[in-house]
Chain A
Amino acid sequence: MRNPLNKRVFREIKENAGKYIGIFLILACIIFVGSAFMVTLRSADSSLKRQEENCMVEDGYFELFEKLPKEVEDAFASKEILLEENNYVIDNEFMGDTKVVVYDERKLIDLYDFFEGEDVKSENDIILDRLFAANHNIKVGDAVKLCDEEFKVSGLVSFADYTSLFKSNQDLVMDVKTFGVAMVSHDGFSRFDEGLLIHRYVYRFNDRSMLDREDELLKDMQKILLENGCMLQSFLTAEHNQSISFLKTDMGKDGPMMEVFIYILLAIIAFVFAVLTGNAIEKESVVIGTLRALGYTRWEMVWHYLCPTLLVTLVAAVIGNILGYTLMLEPFLNVYYSSYCLPPIDIEFSFRAFFITTIAPILIMVVINVALLYNKLVLNPLKFLRKDLKKGKQKKVVKLPDLSFMNRFRIRVILQNKVCYLILFVGIYLSGLLLMFGVGLGPLLDNYVDNIDETLPYEYQYLLKAPVSHDNGEKVKLYSVSTYSNKYRKDIEITLMGVEEESRFFAFDAAKEKDKAVISEPMAKKLHLKEGDAVTLKDGYLNKEYSFTVEGICDYNSSLAVFMDREVLNELLDSSKDDFNCLLANEKLDIEDDYVAKYLTRSDILGASGQLMDMFDTILKVFCIASVAVYMILMYILTKTVIEKNALYISFMKVFGYNSKEAGSLYLHATTCTVILSVIVCLPLQYISFVAMMDYITGMIEGYVPFYLPAWVYIFIAVVGIGAYFIINAFHVQKVRRIPMSDALKSRE
């Protein structure tokens, strides 16, 4: 015989449809977004790993001013290091403002996966990165003109070394709108002016276990290059190459962050279920006592009251997963495809996604609810029959100050429903945090851009292949070093800037001693440095260390930089006294292309954060909608529970002579006060959490984004939170009005 109590499960759900539908909606949304996200992430990760392997992604590259001597190639080969020359040219003005890097044909390393079309065969063929082509509406068969040469697009691909489109490795964010990658055949590449060519060599260790001693091998490689008189322009390992590593790191961090977020939400839902069930137990105390007296065991009761929770969770998991795998997968894939140059993603079943979206919700619901239910049902049947559900000794009455009756009454209501209100508080905190992230990131990034704009003293920055003077350009020596951050447990890239003594652009006095330095404000903030502090910078190329004392902090917000007198810096680097590799100017300089490695305009530098906003735009909107939905559903469920728990007493109040408004106000005002107080108290907590989140993000990125949140964001969050409550409250006012006085007059035990 099937347990007849099971029939009650559906009826219980039907009777409390509003609450269960609310929880179901939140749960199904968490599961379907989580499932789609996790499946996409896992599938993208697998595709990426497959591409790394099949397309022989590089372990690093270096650029030179001239062709590599044969001796070096032989020396590398003897060390089991595969080397491929892969030169490129840059067109900075494709379709007006887009920078395109055009590579020579690749045969060994950094190959590519096709989305459409075929490989380059003739000198007229060119293959383009899919994302770049899509953003510029270029299709297979179209003609494109790069560096004054016209090609026909033969295919759209994903390059193994460009899964993220970073214009420059120092950039804070990707640039999918104004940056692209292309490749032509050897014959096609020979059509470019040789003066434009940049000598680039990519390497890959033949034996993958060699990566374990990468540092040692890098030193060997740099030594070989130095011994053969090679003038290195840059040297970058795959790990530090954002175009290769960013996506992996980003995906690696997205997954755990999403998982933690899902677990927190599931735990909140589990507690909401526990509150509902606890309420049902109080309401059905006599039924439970009777069933227990008739011979039902405690575990049978636990199971019975667990069933609605499990059923709703199970249905939400099934529907959430179905929607996740069908409706949401495409949008999530598009988010990845529109942000990253991923290879074609084959959707794979992910056990981890299944665990997080199906098994974990059930486990969390079971563990939290069984613990709370067992604890509630530990009393003997007689206590349930007598509706005496207090455990242990009678609790002492909380003494209240000499307030008005109404206020004391409301405080008693709050104390009576403290568990409900506590969960509501946590819900308000999390929803508000989501909302803060959703509406706060925009102003934060705007502020970041404004800060850079205000303190960027020049309009153009020319990075030179060889020193070339210009009357309107101020000479600067730039040199990349790094420093280890204990806080973020990683090397942070720093730019050493050697500037003129009488600089037109920098108003401060750069340090004139080798062991003193003026640092930029972002560097001071990111590394928590102040005047007088010591800082050690590592020179990976020359394998040296430079120690400085911070002499001053200057307003220069576009990078983490150390300023020194140019001559002092050259002395420190053992370069000639007047050496420089960069020109700063307020107007476009007339310099031959042969001398320019790259140049950046003010809008290039400032445009980056606009890209960031574009990338986050959809997800931030989702955050805002989700937070308001969670606000309203949680408020509805929990405040309704408070009213239902007190329906009899509200009925009594009406019998005593209170009108509906007065009776309702006793209970509803207690909730109103708690909600308003929670919204306000949560604001500083949300602020602290947001600061911590931004600090975490700062550790992930190369630059530094100062924390900024305008006052209107706090006001907006408070207004949305309180506004959402008042909408819900309007329903409750009606509900209170409908509670009949006859309830109080019914005969009761």
Chain B
Amino acid sequence: MKLKINDVHKFYGEGDSRVEVLRGIDCEIEDGEICVLLGPSGSGKSTLLNIIGGIETADSGCIDIGDDCTDDMTEAQLTLYRRNHLGFVFQFYNLIPNLTVKENIEVCAYLSEKPLEINDLLKTLGLYEHRDKLPSQLSGGQQQRCAIGRALVKNPSLLLCDEPTGALDYSTSKEILKLIEDINKKYHNTILIVTHNDSIKNMANRVLRMRDGKIVKNYENEAIIPASDLEW
């Protein structure tokens, strides 16, 4: 599903301390693309991700995804929007500690009318043998795989990944990026990855670079490198 960001503005604070963190963001991400959003700290990339994800609202402008537009959505409508269209992957996994791997994935399967087959997904994620373990019994990489599985199980049209490798070592990070790439190929979801890691842009179809609340670069990557060949 195509993602369209239309003139999004966002302010924080009031009076003299009012800061404009997003200054009219406009862009489009095509259906099935992997898009990497880069930028230094404070550039507004996480805010943009949150607004796309419907967990924060823009002060003006809107997000179009398929036939839905986030403009003037109520709290309940935003919840439905997230439920129907989005999957989230967080830097620190945010798994539910007292549910097993499989149950953590079921948490989102429950929200979908047509979830993916969980055992197949577990095999794709390489977690099938670990399905009955609690998150605390897994490595960081395995936990992030589980978090990706949880986001993916409802087969969302848009998968939002906030620093998915931020808490992982080099080789595990590459494994996770490879997994994201495989998923994109297998399920054709649009994937937006927010990261500090400049090298990750090389695996993307589209690269967005932000600075001071603006998109300063928006280009299609013509020399895509497979995730397994990335280096940093």
Q: Which residues of A contact B (CB under 8 A)?
A: 1-5, 7-8, 11-12, 15, 286-287, 289-298, 380-382, 385, 747, 749
Contacts and interface: CB of A to CB of B under 8 A. Distances in A.
Contact of B88 (A2, A4, A294): A294
B204 to A, nearest CB: 23
Given A286-B94, A289-B94, A1 B110 contact: yes
Contact of B108 (A289, A294, A749): A294
B110 A294 contact: no
B20 to A, nearest CB: 18
The 5 closest A-B pairs by CB, nearest first: A295-B83, A4-B106, A290-B94, A381-B55, A295-B82
21 contacts: A1-B106, A1-B109, A8-B96, A11-B98, A12-B98, A286-B92, A287-B94, A287-B96, A289-B55, A290-B90, A290-B94, A291-B96, A292-B55, A292-B82, A293-B82, A295-B82, A296-B83, A296-B111, A380-B56, A381-B55, A747-B167
A747 B140 CA distance: 12
Contact of B99 (A8, A289, A293, A296): A8
Given A1-B109, A749-B92, A293 B98 contact: no
A8 to B, nearest CB: 6
Contact of A294 (B56, B75, B106, B111): B111
A380 B55 contact: yes
Contact of B84 (A290, A295, A296): A295
A288 to B, nearest CB: 10
B87 interface: yes
B107 A4 contact: yes
Contacts of B84: 295
B38 interface: no
B208 interface: no
A206 B56 CA distance: 79
B150 interface: yes
Interface string B77-111: 00110111011101110101111000100111111
Contacts of B94: 286-287, 289-290, 385
A5 B82 contact: no
Contacts of A5: 96, 99, 107, 110
Most chain B Cβ neighbours within 10 Å, of A7, A293, A297: A293
B219 to A, nearest CB: 29
A5 B96 CA distance: 9
Nearest to B50: A382
A294 B150 contact: yes
A12 B97 CA distance: 11
Nearest to B82: A295
Contact of B79 (A8, A286, A295): A295
Interface in B25-82: 50, 53, 55-56, 75-76, 79-80, 82
B70 to A, nearest CB: 13
A14 B168 CA distance: 32
Contacts of B83: 294-296
A504 to B, nearest CB: 84
B79 A292 contact: yes
Contact of B103 (A7, A293, A385): A7
Contacts of A12: 98
B85 to A, nearest CB: 9
Given A4-B107, A294-B86, A294-B107, 14 more contacts: A3-B110, A4-B99, A4-B110, A8-B98, A290-B88, A290-B90, A294-B151, A295-B79, A295-B83, A295-B84, A295-B108, A296-B79, A298-B75, A381-B55
A748 to B, nearest CB: 8
B124 to A, nearest CB: 19
A553 B189 CA distance: 95
Interface in B110-137: 110-111, 115
Contacts of A380: 55-56, 75
A12 B150 CA distance: 21
A334 B219 CA distance: 88
A130 B50 CA distance: 79
Contacts of B107: 4-5, 291, 294
A293 B76 contact: no
Interface in B127-167: 150-151, 154, 167
B75 to A, nearest CB: 7
Nearest to B106: A4
Contacts of A385: 55, 90, 94
Most chain B Cβ neighbours within 10 Å, of A3, A294, A297, A749: A294
Given A287-B94, A294-B151, A4 B103 contact: yes
A190 B88 CA distance: 98
A535 to B, nearest CB: 67
Contacts of A1: 106, 109-110, 115
Contacts of B80: 295
Contacts of B82: 292-295
Contacts of A749: 91-92
Contacts of B99: 4-5, 7-8, 11
A2 B103 CA distance: 11
Contacts of A2: 110
Contacts of B88: 290, 293-294
A696 B167 CA distance: 67
A1 B114 CA distance: 11
A353 to B, nearest CB: 38
Contacts of B97: 287
B187 to A, nearest CB: 17
Contacts of B86: 293-295
A382 B10 CA distance: 15
Nearest to A15: B98
Contacts of B91: 749
Contacts of B106: 1, 4
A286 B92 CA distance: 10
Contacts of B111: 294-296
Nearest to B90: A290
A47 to B, nearest CB: 52
A374 B84 CA distance: 23
Nearest to A295: B83
B105 to A, nearest CB: 9
A322 to B, nearest CB: 30
B167 A293 contact: no
B100 to A, nearest CB: 9
A120 B86 CA distance: 88
A289 B150 CA distance: 14
Interface in B151-194: 151, 154, 167
A382 B106 CA distance: 22
A287 B103 CA distance: 14
A281 to B, nearest CB: 14
B79 to A, nearest CB: 5
Nearest to A10: B98
Contacts of A381: 55
A269 B211 CA distance: 53
A565 to B, nearest CB: 84
A532 B80 CA distance: 78
A357 to B, nearest CB: 32
Contacts of A286: 92, 94
A676 to B, nearest CB: 37
Nearest to B46: A382
Given A12-B98, A380-B56, A294 B87 contact: yes
B228 to A, nearest CB: 27
Contacts of A382: 50, 55-56
A5 to B, nearest CB: 6
Nearest to B160: A293
Contacts of B167: 747
B161 to A, nearest CB: 13
Contacts of B50: 382
Contacts of B110: 1-5
A515 B106 CA distance: 89
Nearest to A749: B92
A297 B79 contact: yes
Nearest to B76: A297
B99 to A, nearest CB: 6
A7 B97 CA distance: 12
